[in-house]
């Protein structure tokens, strides 16, 4: 009985920014728990390749190419998914970007683009999907935060601000939408080896610091985020709302 709490059979998940990295790993993981998935990204070629790789595992995969920073595009894409593929039961707001520079030199245009990609996207897609989940009285929304939700680091102040905003938007969404049967929570990854962090992984000095700073003593691998996503996407978390689950090897538990 207990394991069936985590069964996602018959559920459909939309994962933004899922042609690579954490998004792709979460799509693969949710599919492994029985969900059919819809991949999103801006690049149709990368999406098609990711969908092909996932279908090869037996997963049921759709694709929806749209720019999550555009409110109208997100609304019409969600409408197309719901009419052409089917209702969205699970939304993972994963799309995000990074730009590293000292704050005094940080270009205003890059600051705005980072906020649009990391924060506005959560509102754009979250609102569009919630408008369909609310009348159904159920739905799961998972927003990808970061350890930078809680901690800053030199050179990534805008990213830190954006991930703090995502965590509080998660709490706001939970507050407004839990009365209608939705569960809205966050996952805050620590340092994982992805395309986004490749430059850091290759930096021996940074990697050495990271391994000392993390109680687990290592970088995470993206498949280690799947369990948290299945939990928050499933009936196992039916009374969990507004929670940000840190998956960080213990980094935020210690100085
Ligand atoms: C960076 C960022 C990212 C994430 C970190 C924790 O400089 O790329 O700090 O690495 O914030 O992985 O999620």
What's this model's pTM, rounded to 2 decimal places? 0.98
Closest CA relative to residue 156, chosen from 189, 120, 114: 114
Q: pLDDT tens for residues 34-61?
A: 999 999 999 999 999 999 999 999 999 9
Q: Atom 3 (ligand 1): residue with closest C-alpha?
A: 197
Domain 3-249 class, CATH top level: alpha beta
- Rounded to whole angstroms, how far apart are CA atoms 127 and 133? 10
Average pLDDT estimate for 184-188: 99
Q: What is the pLDDT of residue 196?
A: 85
Helix (H) or strand (E) holding 249, with range, is none
Structure tokens at 63: 């694709």
**219 CB-side CA count, 13 A:** 16
pLDDT > 90? residue 248 = yes
- Rounded to whole angstroms, how far apart are CA atoms 33 and 229? 10
Q: pLDDT tens for residues 4-38?
A: 999 999 999 999 999 999 999 999 999 999 999 99
- Rounded to whole angstroms, how far apart are CA atoms 138 and 134? 7
- 67: Cβ–Cβ under 8 A, 6 or more apart, which residues? 42, 73, 74
Give the pairing of strands 182-189 and 36-41. unpaired
pLDDT band, very low/low/confident/very high, at 244 (cuts 50, 70, 90): very high
Structure tokens at 45: 């070629």
For residue 159, indicate whether it is catalytic: yes
The pLDDT mean for the chain works out to 98
- Rounded to whole angstroms, how far apart are CA atoms 46 and 58? 19
Structure tokens at 229: 């996503």
Average pLDDT estimate for 229-254: 98
End-to-end CA distance of the chain: 40
pLDDT band, very low/low/confident/very high, at 204 (cuts 50, 70, 90): very high
Helix (H) or strand (E) holding 127, with range, is helix 121-136
Ligand 1 centroid–CA 7 distance in Å is 31
Neighbouring CB atoms inside 10 A of 113's CB total: 15
Q: Is the shortest distance between the CB of 214 and ligand 1 below 6 Å?
A: no
- Rounded to whole angstroms, how far apart are CA atoms 60 and 245? 27
Strand order of the β-sheet with 244-247 is 61-65, 36-41, 12-15, 90-93, 139-144, 182-189, 244-247
Domain boundaries, the chain: 3-249
Q: pLDDT tens for residues 150-180?
A: 999 999 999 999 999 999 999 999 999 999 9
Q: What is the pLDDT of residue 182?
A: 98
pLDDT > 90? residue 1 = no
Q: Is the shortest distance between the CB of 75 and ligand 1 below 6 Å?
A: no
Average pLDDT estimate for 199-216: 97
pLDDT > 90? residue 77 = yes
Q: Atom 10 (ligand 1): residue with closest C-alpha?
A: 197
Q: Atom 1 (ligand 1): residue with closest C-alpha?
A: 197
Q: pLDDT tens for residues 90-132?
A: 999 999 999 999 999 999 999 999 999 999 999 999 999 999 9
């Amino acid at each position: 009985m207990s394991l069936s709490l985590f069964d996602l059979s018959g559920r459909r998940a939309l994962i933004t920014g899922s042609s690579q990295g954490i998004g792709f790993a979460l799509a693969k993981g949710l599919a492994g728990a029985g969900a059919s998935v819809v991949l999103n990204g801006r690049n149709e070629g990368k999406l098609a390749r990711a969908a092909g790789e996932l279908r090869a595992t037996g997963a049921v995969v759709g694709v929806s190419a749209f720019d999550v920073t555009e409110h109208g595009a997100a609304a019409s894409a969600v409408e197309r998914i719901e009419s052409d593929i089917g209702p969205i039961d699970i939304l993972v707001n994963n799309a995000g970007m990074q730009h590293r520079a000292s704050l005094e030199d940080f270009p205003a245009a890059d600051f705005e683009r980072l906020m649009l990609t990391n924060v506005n996207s959560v509102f754009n897609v979250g609102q569009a999907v919630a408008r369909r989940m609310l009348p159904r009285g159920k739905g799961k929304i998972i927003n990808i935060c970061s350890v930078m939700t809680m901690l800053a680091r030199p050179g990534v102040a805008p990213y830190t601000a954006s991930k703090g905003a995502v965590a509080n938007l998660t709490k706001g969404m939970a507050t407004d939408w839990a009365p209608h049967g939705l569960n809205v929570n966050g996952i805050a990854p620590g340092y994982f080896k992805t395309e986004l962090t490749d430059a850091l992984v290759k930096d021996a000095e940074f990697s050495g610091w990271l391994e000392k700073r993390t109680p687990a003593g290592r970088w995470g691998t993206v498949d280690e985020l799947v369990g948290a996503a299945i939990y928050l996407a499933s009936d196992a978390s039916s009374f969990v709302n507004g929670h940000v689950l840190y998956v960080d090897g213990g980094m935020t538990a210690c100085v």
